[in-house]
Structure 1
């Protein structure tokens, strides 16, 4: 067993970056588009890389809390450069707990976090190609010759958006996309994600530090809060003793229209023994999911502050109003602000554009009661009950048109609503190349 993260990371760096040292160009950052896709049962946010020899485009559902890249190898995976990872190798060790096939190939379970389905798959390495960037537009295409991934199957692919054959895990592991790219090109272990609210325009995912130019350099206006570690795995197929690789933040309280919402604050903390509680961020959950007592308290405070009659709800939401009773502005529906007060007393302000979901003449509070709404696969329910393992899961609708930067080296989150900067996530210039 290799004894430390530093040694693990140096193994990874040696494994995937040595061939790149022969080239004169070493990018400072990379960029890919993200598209909002509504072809599946729930919205998914999809990106694309090129992989294999010869290179082919591979569509992937973005999983912020996923631990690795997995791709379906069962259907049409052909590559002259794909190599299995031997058991006992340094690359195998990077995946932590793992299994070993009869052919002595290292393996781990690829998980579809949309459906909760996991299988077992061999770990392989193959070439991955992606655009570099200077933060203003796409630049030269660069390649990583031995990018590690897990082979999935048709069964685990089921439920993903049309044309998607795997998932791009961005989580806190040594083999997630941000970690492998940072190691390959020796840039900072940071990435930033910005989801578009429209299916007609692209959001953007940056690997590396800013600038992040979305009409302005958003990296200059970020507000920061620490990332929190959950010592217990929250993945569909985690191993005993593994920490969660998802991104948790410390929410101290919730305010609606500047008034504190009465909550059982013990739910906001993570129980270090069993991993229950706390707040995580997800691109797989389409909407924010709240533990039932938190949902009821927030909903009641919101209805009281808004002061208009409720109407029959539209699933999966439980708190809805007539659209005619709500005003609109550049910031979206004119409704009370919902503030997440974080552990260092900075505030994540959720404005109307992110808090509400409209269905023609009905508009709903875009938060879901964990006791009645989403599937157990997406929120991770405590076995045998209706309580989610995580008390608050901030979903993708609440992230749209916010830029979030995850700094893996310093364990902090930077965030900013682009409504405050009079821009949006669709304003990265993908049309020209440097």
Structure 2
């Protein structure tokens, strides 16, 4: 049996917003560059698929001794945090080997007051933020952090950080280091990361918060975050910050920006995350209406798109009609609609972002019922992002998205990470 399963298309509304921020940054570079670039890794060894970027957390004169940390990508987190030690006394020899040690932000400094009043976690698991005394008679500044794997609340200490990434011309990383200095990052104990994927020891905030990476990276770069998530853990995807061009092999002459369609980013009063408007969901040329003013959030920590029950049920009903010749299969959590693919039946699927192959005999609609009161009503998860090129233009407050790059004979794993000094 041959069956064409058409892509579920989100038809997007249009409004306009602006986000403003200031920051300090420096770069030691040789050729001209248009962006910074970091590799993206998919992790499947936690309770859900997650994605990390590799950032240099210690820059030494001997390149071989640089220290790197893998940070989870979180486009909702208010600030950066990772496994490190805050020390009031940074005399040589006091920092353990293979450990990042940083200076504390004092409870008397503006950063402490500002970051505590800029965000708020109302989770009952969050403890009060009580100042603490560190060795060297320094009053530390504890802040709450939310674990994106478990959703639980913990605490870290604000610190002064130095982070470094490679610059790029859009084709390769160049011989050059871009330094940025978070004035609102936090150190957490190793125990806070027990649920994280192996070799991942921090959270890199890419939200609209004034303490997230986009507010620290843009000088002299434009405030544009470009993200390309890989679909498997064996090959790296890519994240850019800065204007294009952006290139993937083998189409060395095609700027990925040419594939993009844009819609406005919307502000949410209680979140630093990214939101868009959704008018309808189209399945095989039939539109399913979405209630007016439906809130739609973009997420890099939810693995599948979550739909409020009324929307989810409409999608399932329509999908059952267009797949009525495919035998059903027992649902596999967290999915509610699955199909049997055994007995040699052949599927032609126009996108790999709608159907999740669970076993060789079972495939499921990769959308999850979020419940009757789910808020936001729609959360677009990472399975729908994989091998798509996404651009968050924070200056114009727009979100750009491509169709699947697989249809363009490339993928997010095709960036050339070979370093070069040729512009």
Counterpart for residue 346 of structure 1: none
TM-score, length-scaled by structure 2: 0.79
- Out of 196, 205, 225, the residue aligned to residue 160 of structure 1 is 196
In structure 2, do the counterparts of structure 1 residues 68 and 311 end up closer, same or farther at CA, with 3 Å as the change threshold?
Answer: same
Cα shift at 1:212: 0.9
Tell me the CA shift for residue 52 of structure 1.
3.2
1:340 paired residue number: none
Match of 1:315 among 333, 339, 348: 333
Displacement after TM superposition at 1:155 (Å): 4.1
Unmatched segments (≥5 aa) in structure 1: 233-243, 270-277, 336-350, 372-385
| Preserved contact between residue 34 and residue 244 of structure 2 (Cα < 8 Å) | no
Check 1:79–1:71 CA distance in 2 against 1; reply closer, same or farther (3 A cut).
Answer: closer
2:386 alignment counterpart: 400
3-state secondary structure, aligned to 2:162: strand
Could you tell me which residue of structure 2 aligns to residue 39 of structure 1?
45
- The equivalent residue for 2:353 is 354
Aligned to 1:377: none
- Structure 1 contact 227–413 (Cα < 8 Å) conserved: yes
Alignment map for 1:303-382 (pairs within 5 Å): 303-307=320-324, 308-324=326-342, 334-335=348-349, 351-358=350-357, 359-371=359-371
Deviation at 1:389, TM superposition (A): 2.0
Mapped to 1, the partners of 2:354 and 2:29 lie a distance apart of 47
Equivalent residue in structure 1 for 2:261, among 218, 223, 232: 223
Assess, with a 3 A threshold, how the Cα gap between structure 1 residues 155 and 392 changes in structure 2: closer, same or farther. farther
Q: Cα deviation per residue 1:126-176 (whole Å; 9 max; x = unaligned)? A: 221211100001112414263341112334312110111111111111121
| Secondary structure class of the residue paired with 1:301 | helix
Write out per-residue CA displacement over residues 96-126 of structure 1, whole angstroms, 9 at most, x where no aligned residue.
Answer: 6165624443442222122111222221112
Structure showing greater relative contact order (alpha-carbon pairs closer than 8 Å, 6 or more residues apart): 2
Q: Does 2:77 correspond to 1:86?
A: no
More helix by proportion, 1 or 2? 1
Instruction: Find the aligned partners of 2:100 and 2:360 in 1 and give their Cα distance.
Output: 48
Which range is displaced more, 21-30 or 45-54? 21-30
Alpha-carbon distance in structure 2 between the residues aligned to 1:326 and 1:83: 62
The alpha carbon displacement at 1:433 in A equals: 2.7
Q: Deviations over 1:200-226 (max 9, x none)?
A: 111100011111101321012211100
RMSD: 2.6
Question: Given the alignment, which residue of 131, 143, 157 partners 1:101?
Answer: 131
Matches of residues 11-26 of structure 1 in structure 2 within 5 Å?
A: 12-13=23-24, 17=25, 20=26
Measure, in 2, the Cα distance between the counterparts of 1:253 and 1:204: 30
| Counterpart-to-counterpart distance in 2, 1:317 and 1:281 | 19
State the partner residue of 2:166.
131
SS at match of 1:334: strand
CA radius of gyration, larger in: 2
Cα pair 1:83 1:125 within 8 Å, conserved: yes
Q: How many residues align?
A: 365
Preserved CA contact (<8 Å) 1:51 1:127: yes
Q: Which residue of 2 aligns with 1:431?
A: 418
| Cα contact 2:36–2:178 (8 A) shared by 1 | no
Q: CA separation of 1:25/1:79 partners in 2, compared to 1, >3 Å: closer, same or farther?
A: farther
The CA distance in 1 between the partners of 2:301 and 2:259, in whole Å, is 26
Asked whether the 8 Å contact 2:228–2:388 carries over to 1, the reply is yes
1:70 to 81, 103, 119: 81
Q: 2:232 aligns with which of 192, 198, 215?
A: 198
Post-superposition Cα deviations, 1:36-80, rounded to whole Å, max 9, x if no partner, equal 111112111122111036541111111122222110226967446
User: Which SS does the other structure have where 1:210 is aligned?
Assistant: coil
Show CA shifts across 1:228-249 (max 9, x none): 11112xxxxxxxxxxx111110
Change (3 A) 1:225 1:124: same
Correspondent of 2:301 among 279, 284, 289: 284
Matched-pair contact (CA < 8 Å) for 2:84–2:100: no
- Alignment partners' CA distance in 1, 2:311 and 2:112: 41
